[in-house]
Amino acid sequence: MAQLKPNVFFAPWNDPAEKPLIQFKNVTKRFGESIAINNLTLDIYAQEFFALLGPSGCGKTTLMRMLGGFETPTEGQIFLDGVDIGPFPPNERPVNMMFQSYALFPHLTVWENIAFGLKRSDMPKDQIGDRVGKMLKLTQLEKFAKRKPHQISGGQRQRVALARSLAKAPKLLLLDEPLGALDKKLRNETQFELMDIQESTGTTFVIVTHDQEEAMTVASRVAVMVDGQLVQVATPDQIYEAPTTTYVADFIGDVNLIEGKSSLTDGGMDVHWDDNQPAIHVTTDTPLAARTSCHFAIRPEKVSISSEKPNAVNVMKGKIIDIAYLGNISTYYVEISAGVIFKAQATNNRRLSRRTYTWEDEIYLSWTDTAGVVLTE
Amino acid sequence: MNSRVTGSFIILGTFVFLTGIFYLETFIPLEQWSDSVSEYWLFNMLGDGWNDITIWWFKFIVLFAINLPLLAINLFIFKSLPHDLKPIVSRHLMIFTPYAWLTVFFLVPFGIVLKISFSDIALAIPPYVPTLKDGFWTMVSGLDLENYAFIGAGAVFAGIVMLLAAIVMYRFVYPWVRSAIVSDDNVGALASTVVAGSALAVSVVCTASLAGLLGLVFPLLRAFVEVPDFLYVAAYLSSFKIAVISTFLTLLIGYPIAYSMARAAEHWRPLLLMLVILPFWTSFLIRVYAWIGILSTEGYLNQFLLSTGLIVEPLTILNTNVAVYIGIVYTYLPFMVLPIYAALDKMDDSLVEAAEDLGCSTFSAFWLITAPLSKPGVIAGCFLVFIPTLGEFVIPSLLGGSNSIMIGKVLWEEFFNNRDWPVASSVAVILLLILIIPIVLFQRNEQKQREING
Amino acid sequence: MRRFSWFNATSLTFGFVFLYLPMLILIIYSFNESRLVTVWAGFSTQWYGELFQNKAFLDAAWITIKVAFWSSTLATILGTMAAYIMVRAGRFRGRALFSGMIYAPLVMPEVITGLSLLLFFIALDVNRGILTIVLAHTTFAMCYVSVVVTSRLVSFDEALEEAARDLGCTPFDAFRSVTLPIIMPAVVSGWLLAFTLSLDDLVIATFTSGPASTTLPIKIFSAVRLGVTPEINALSTIMILIVTVGVIIASLISRGVSIRAKADERKAEQS
């Protein structure tokens, strides 16, 4: 799609002429024996909203702290605008960071917190007030300028932290789990606020999070990290629809994974996973060589459920063994062969009492030939 | 990286050197000049109205200003450092300052004590030989263990070795012997006693024969263990006895207070806590002194007891060990109450409720739940009382009189009354050796608590 | 709900009577008219008058305050540095020795500290006087200060310092403008503790003082050895009262601060 309308979509990573803002070149970081970052190479472009996603301990925070200047790479270099920033201490980098704990100075007011960085820059004194006022307005904190951090609520504190880190107009803003301390509802609202602010200031954001939903919502590109290495770097829809490994497929959202062997067919391939069951047909431009072991991955919402045998490419018969009712949708756990459970999601567009399927029902699952992907890793 | 570290050390050295010169140039003349204040033309010119303090301050400011460029050079060097070297240098500077202070005023003095403890008393200034003036090698060869032999250090060493042996026996040898002799895990007390007894007997025989053998081989060692003056051994034993008894008494009195404080209503607790801490801030000396008036023969306690008719003759409490116990319990009570209170305060109330719900009486709930959970606090409190009590000087000398002998007091008298510095030093060394065991145990207890608390 | 029984009430009552009765008696008898301290002969404040006439005591008090001020100030600077190193410096050569030296003076009997410092000063041929007492007191008080400050620094969020660095502070600037203001209460109470310890110390001061620098505790000790005197009672009363007033004011202030903080939090939740 990006190739069709290149002017509409923001995608500098596809443009070979574009110069990246940040370049990691073969960066390795060791803490004693353990390796936090393993030979990592990554480009981040100006004005991107870049998300580092991964389980705790995958090295995403270390990566960010290296950008901030709180850790130095053991090997390799990090470039910012073409300059190796390795030897620069945090206070000499045009990079600001929003801390997970917000790290608001408890002895200073909101106004003084936001002005803290400006007072230590070469900005003339009379302009500081204007800049702080602008930041307060941007984050809708004008009323709270004279309060101390413990006198405002959690959401307000989050905005003060954001305003403080944006005040110096950094080239790059690092956000360490910025919404982690907020409750779910506030988090959803704040995500959009964050995106608005990113867009209006034009700052490059790098966000670290373990919440995949958050990463998918806010980011222009998501990097999935495991054990100090990048597994996949792509746009949220690519990550979701076209994961390159089973790990990514499993880590982002819900997925059905079936292990099998491939065979070539006309215009695609088949995945044979059980001798007593029909093979799964997949249409793809890049089929695997025959008899390669692989995984077939499909999202539960792409699997439809019906009581009569539908007319579809892939159809499978099964028995409902469990139903998870989530309000807007229900997930059905369907046993399609001994020990193999398939998840299928259906929207609850009717009231619960008139639900069509229930436990122990024999039903059919079906999906199209383009709904799933085949993965080798 | 390594050359950078070396470079930073060179810079650090420069800083220290310049600061040292600054100090010497400022404060030493200040000391020297204060003798010749009146002869200095500037002050003569100013007339007699200047008192010493004004002159001192005047000189201080002048000298400070004259020598200020030295500090300015330091500052300039630091400012002009390359920015990747600055953090390393400032870090080293930060570590160096208190480190050097403690090394000079804590470690080195103790080394001197150690050295003097190996010297001999002499009629000289300073009153011991050999000194460094005799030349380094003469000094080293002149050191001996005579003082240690004199104060019965061998007995202390033997005691410590026996204690360690007992620990080893209990922790390693006893389980091993027991598992070798009694295969069944489920044995009665009798079998255990028999095994422990036989193991102990074997070990005593072994130790005795080993000691005898060593004594035969090294006659010097034997002389070392012989006790020429029983006073010192008596002092160790009596210090130990006083410390143990008073720690126990403090626990007996402190626990109910801490327990009741933890039970008190939430809004009362800060006040109660303050009431316990307050005596800690008041002078130790005054608190001990307060008891002299109470405990003396014609003191308030005897007056009260005589007037109520409980006793006919006044009791003699002052200048006995009883007075020492009272003094120690009184002054160290906050040290016992606070850790126990901290442990009890952390405890979840619902634990006791759960125990009672499961069928415990109030007393057994206390015994089975509260008491074990407050154990770390009790242990910490006991050590906090026991350790300083062992070396206590003020309380035995004010309340115990000549009847109570404690190591701290013996050291003091050896130094100030007998002027025997070498013996005083060796008493200090031995006192420290004795203290090492409880200090190590205390540290281990604290460490364990920290690990539990995360 | 905690159950507060008669047992709790009695043990608290007895405990606090035990703690405070001796001092109370001391205070009451300082107003006794008779020189025989154990016999009550009527109310009088004459001993206070005599105390303020006694130049030896006043001189000693002045010296003690001077020593306490300088040593606690020095100890606070060094102790804060030591605490900062212990918490923040990570690993460095000789760290174990350093932490040993920080904690050792806390458990070291005063007679040993005093003796070793005296022998040290004599070996260096330093004239004993106010300076030597200050040095000695600084050495042991800095360890107490560092314990107090360490306990505050441990709970201090390191991200605050990193945030300051991130916003353009040099390490020193970050310490001065963020860390120090926040740990200030601990530094102040460390100073107060060092001050009281120095005011209170008899043993180390006796070892390290010279003939012209007798401190108040030394004076009291030599007077007390001869028995109870009404002047000492009066002096003790003054010292107890000063400390009591100080502690009460300090606890009222900290109580006020915590009440205000709670009110602020409530307000923040509502807004």
Q: Mind listing the pLDDT tens digit for each residue in C160-214? A: 999 999 998 888 888 889 999 999 989 999 999 999 999 989 999 999 998 878 8
**Could you tell me which of B40, B71, B80 has the C-alpha nearest to residue B58?**
B40
Residue B442 to residues A129, B368, B386, B406, B433: CA-CA distances in angstroms? Answer: 55, 24, 10, 22, 15
* Distance separating alpha carbons of residues B22 and C84, to the nearest angstrom: 26
pLDDT score, position B37: 47
Distance in Å, alpha carbon of C178 to nearest chain A alpha carbon: 7
Query: Into how many domains does chain A fold?
Result: 2
Beta-bridge partner residues of A325? A330
Between B447 and A43, the more confident residue is A43
Burial class (CB in 10 A: 0-12, 13-18, 19+), B299: buried
Give the span between the Cα atoms of C260 and C266, in whole angstroms: 10
Q: Worst-scoring range by mean pLDDT, A61-65, A110-114, B40-44, C258-262?
A: B40-44
Residue B46 has pLDDT above 70, yes or no: no
Residue A204 has pLDDT above 80, yes or no: yes
CB nearest to B292's CB, from C123, C228, C239: C228
Note whether A269 and A163 are same-domain residues: no
Contacts of B302 (CB under 8 A, 6+ apart): B296, B311, B314, B315
Domain interval for residue A286: 265-375
Positions in chain C short of pLDDT 70: 1-4, 268-271
Contact status, residue B410 vs residue B231, Cβ threshold 8 Å: yes
A33's tokens:
């024996």
* Residue B114 tokens, joined: 């150690």
* Contact: B105, C232; criterion CB under 8 Å: no
Picking from A249, A278, A313, the residue at the C-terminal end of a domain is A249
Instruction: Say whether A310 sits in a helix, a strand or coil.
Output: coil
What is the rounded CA–CA span in Å between residue A87 and residue A72? 8
- Count CB atoms within 10 A of the CB of residue C52: 12
A155, A40: one domain: yes
Residues A279, A243 share a domain: no
Alpha carbon distance, N-terminus to C-terminus of chain A? 26
Between the CA of residue B114 and those of B110, B145, B425, C13, C115, what are the distances in Å?
6, 11, 7, 48, 11
Look at the block and give the residue holding tokens 């804590």: B106
pLDDT band of residue B76 (cuts 50, 70, 90) is: confident
Give the list of residues 6+ apart from residue C101 with CB closer than 8 angstroms, or none. B99, B102, B103, B106, B107
Which residues have a Cβ under 8 Å from the Cβ of A241 and sit 6 or more positions away?
Answer: A373
Over residues B393-401, mean pLDDT: 90
pLDDT tier at A272 (50, 70, 90 boundaries)?
confident
- Same domain, yes or no: A43 and A191: yes
- Residues A209, A60 share a domain: yes
Q: What is the pLDDT of residue A154?
A: 86
Looking at every residue in chain B, the average pLDDT score rounds to: 80
Cβ C139–B276 below 8 Å, yes or no?
A: no
- Does the residue A5 lie in any domain? no
Minimal C-alpha gap between B195 and chain C (Å): 39
Q: Which residue of B has its CA nearest to A86?
A: B84
Q: Taking residues A193-215, what's their average pLDDT?
A: 89
Same domain, yes or no: A240 and A114: yes
Residue spans of the domains in chain B: they are 2-117, 153-225, 230-453
Using an 8 Å CB-CB cutoff, list chain B residues near A89.
Answer: 83-84, 87
- Which two tokens mark B345? 């305060």
Residue B35 has pLDDT above 60, yes or no: no
The answer, yes or no, to whether residue B27 has pLDDT greater than 90, is: no
Please count the residues of chain A. 377
Nearest CA-CA distance, residue B84 and chain A, Å: 7
Q: Which domains are assigned to chain C?
A: 58-217 (1.10.3720.10)
> In this structure, what CATH number is given to the domain that contains residue A344?
2.40.50.100
User: Does residue B47 have a pLDDT over 50?
Assistant: no
In a domain, residue A369? The reply is yes
- Structurally, what CATH architecture does the domain formed by B230-453 represent? Orthogonal Bundle (1.10)
- Chain C residues inside the 8 Å CB shell of B291: 22
Two structure tokens written together for A310: 């539908």
Q: Are the CB atoms for A265 and A278 separated by under 8 Å?
A: no
Question: Using a CB-CB distance cutoff of 8 angstroms, which residues of chain B are in contact with residue C18?
Answer: 253, 330, 333
What phi, psi does B328 have (nearest 5°)?
-65, -45
Task: Find chain C residues with C-beta within 8 A of B390's C-beta.
Answer: 109
User: What CATH number is attached to the domain comprising A59?
Assistant: 3.40.50.300
A348 and A202 housed in the same domain: no
Looking at CA atoms only, how far is residue B387 from chain C in angstroms? Answer: 7
